[in-house]
Amino acid sequence: MSPASVNPSIPTDYLETGAWLAGFVRSHAKREDVRIEVLLDMGGSREGSSYAVRLTLGTRGSPGLGSPPIELDFHEVAEGRTRFAWCAALGERVQAAARDLHGAARSTG
């Protein structure tokens, strides 16, 4: 079986890929705490080329204020969303950030 038949290239555009990414990140973050919200920045200089992701829980954020957000290239997400290993790695990254955020929120009450 060729790699193309295992990981098909599914046509998509920037907005559709952004909607997929927001849902994917939200579903993985909420596995750690249902109160976590996802902020997906698709505007300004990122428009059409990349996404910035932050998780929030109350007044806390992950990555923390002053730290750069999780940056993802549009083409990487568009291609990666059809690959199990890529999705698993991103899911683990998001859940680790969500765990850190949840732990920080719990430690401050």
Q: Alpha-carbon distance 89 to 68, whole Å?
A: 19
What 3-state DSSP class applies to 52?
strand
> Average pLDDT of each block of 10 consecutive residues along the chain (109 residues)?
58 94 98 96 96 94 87 96 96 95 72
The dihedral formed by the CA atoms of 18, 19, 20 and 23, expressed in degrees to the nearest 10: 120
What's the distance, Cα to Cα, between the start and end of the chain in Å?
53
Nearest alpha carbon to residue 21 among 63, 50, 43? 50
Full-model pTM: 0.86
